[in-house]
Amino acid sequence: MSASKELKFGFTKKETKDLVAKLNKLLADYHVHYQKLRNFHWNVTGGDFFDLHEQFEQRYDKTKEEIDEVAERIRTFGHTPLSTLKEYLQHSSIKEPKSIPDARGMVKEILSDYEVILKTQTAAANIAHEIGDHGTLDMLNHYIFDMQKHSWMLSAFLK
């Protein structure tokens, strides 16, 4: 096979192996986080119901878009994204809640997820930077900025 057929956007599969591993980890973290957001959206109660119900829906819609973009980015490099619930649960550092917390507990759980996701996003962004992958770096920088901003907003909610 010629070298040009092995290249995807100027990168070989070998060059993108570590990046794809981090993107798959991000994909797994996102999926568990996504389901947690849906769980909390359906089950939030109390005086903060209307605000949090809407916030959780907005965030799971955004997370769903990012899941698709990350999986498609993995495909652009000729790799296969994780795609089963079993794989997501095996690779994610985010855990499902053992029970349904109260509204404040839900926000704390989401903030904890954000810390995990931000670490994975940053690690992937660093690898993308190292190999000169500006497309993935740009995508991840947008995700990081948005999550940091929303983390600040949720933290303010808890005060």
Q: What is the pLDDT of residues 53-104, one digit of tens each?
A: 999 999 999 999 999 999 999 999 989 999 999 999 999 999 999 999 999 9
Number of domains making up the chain: 1
* pLDDT recorded at residue 1: 41
On the question of pLDDT at 111 being above 50, the answer is yes
147/59 Cα distance (integer angstroms): 10
pLDDT tier at 108, thresholds 50, 70, 90: very high
Report the amino acid identity of residue 154: L
Assigned domain for 107 exists: yes
Assigned domain for 86 exists: yes
Residues in the chain: 159
What average pLDDT score do residues 35-43 get? 98
* pLDDT recorded at residue 5: 52
16: nearest Cα among 71, 77, 81, 75: 77
Assigned domain for 2 exists: no
Q: Which two tokens stand for residue 52?
A: 């949090």
Q: Which two tokens stand for residue 151?
A: 């983390």
Q: How far is CA 158 from the centre of its chain?
A: 23
The CATH number assigned to the domain holding 146 equals 1.20.1260.10
Range of the domain at 32: 10-158
pLDDT tier at 124, thresholds 50, 70, 90: very high
